[in-house]
Amino acid sequence: MFKQRVITALVLAPLMIIGIFFLPLKQFAIFIAAIATLGAWEWANIAGYERRWGRVGYAFLVFVCLYITARAYYFIPEVVVYFLTVGAFWWVIAFALVRHYPQGTSLWTSRPIRAILGLCVLLPMWVGFMHLKMQPHSSLLIVFVMLIVWGADTGAYFAGKKWGNSKLAPNVSPGKSWAGFWGGLVTSAVVALLFGLGLDRWLQSMSQADYVQMVVIAMVTMVVSVLGDLVESMMKRHRGIKDSSSLLPGHGGVLDRIDSMAAAVPVFALCIYLLDWGFAK
């Protein structure tokens, strides 16, 4: 298993680096759309569509929705805020669903409802990535949000391992603890401060307000990233499966790798949009 994880990571890492740093806007859009479509194929199973034609059909539906979204984005750029706002609002609803699980499952247990929830996850993710890609120093912004999520995961792991007695959401993910949550929150703030110091030294002068904004954005993003992980865990638990698929040997499925990022990216993008924050050209 460990060997499989290492081999898969060695294959995926260069692909992600090329996708983030070297692909032009149009090719980047296709790259993220391909990831979202693979995620849709897996979400179809989570939604209860077990047959191959049902999963392929749902993936195609999501791809079509992505195409329509892209066209709308091209002709009316201002539409981005509506997609990101809807995406953020979904995570507010998701918080309530996770908090009350297993109560309330009757609200979303039907396959069509779960299929719609998949759109609420995957479409805003694509829009969020595209909004970041169109900003000055887009690669730095995308790396920043990834460092927030990965740093929070690391901080949560070590804090949870040392102090994790009180469970965060025992009915959804017994492995997560409040200590891990607070450890991840602190780590995300530290990541933001260190990233800000790097910006101040090599890219642009950072004011105290800039640091405060970066820390606030990082902490909000971290909280939502945890929620993304919990929502997928809740859906898989309800469906009775461990992994979203076996597409990535040793890592499970695509959704198992991007669940936190799918939640974090649109909220991060909405924050920088509303705060009018970003890197200088």
**Position 281 pLDDT exceeds 70:** no
Q: What is the pLDDT of residue 4?
A: 57
pLDDT averaged over every residue in the chain: 88
Q: What is the pLDDT of residue 247?
A: 72
pLDDT > 90: percent of the chain: 56
pLDDT per position as a tens digit, 131-183: 999 998 898 999 999 999 989 988 998 998 888 788 898 889 888 999 999 99
Q: What is the pLDDT of residue 10?
A: 60
pLDDT per position as a tens digit, 223-232: 999 999 999 9
- The answer, as to whether pTM is greater than 0.85, is yes
Secondary structure in 3-state letters for the chain: CHHHHHHHHHHHHHHHHHHHHCCCHHHHHHHHHHHHHHHHHHHHHHHCCCCHHHHHHHHHHHHHHHHHHHHHHHHCHHHHHHHHHHHHHHHHHHHHHHHHCCCCHHHCCCHHHHHHHHHHHHHHHHHHHHHHHCCCCHHHHHHHHHHHHHHHHHHHHHHHHHHCCCEEECCCEEEEEHHHHHHHHHHHHHHHHHHHHHHHHHCCCCCHHHHHHHHHHHHHHHHHHHHHHHHHHHHHHHHCCCCCCCCECCCECHHHHHHHHHHHHHHHHHHHHHCCCCCCC
**Domain spans in the chain, listed from the N-terminal domain onward:** 2-274
pLDDT > 70: percent of the chain: 93
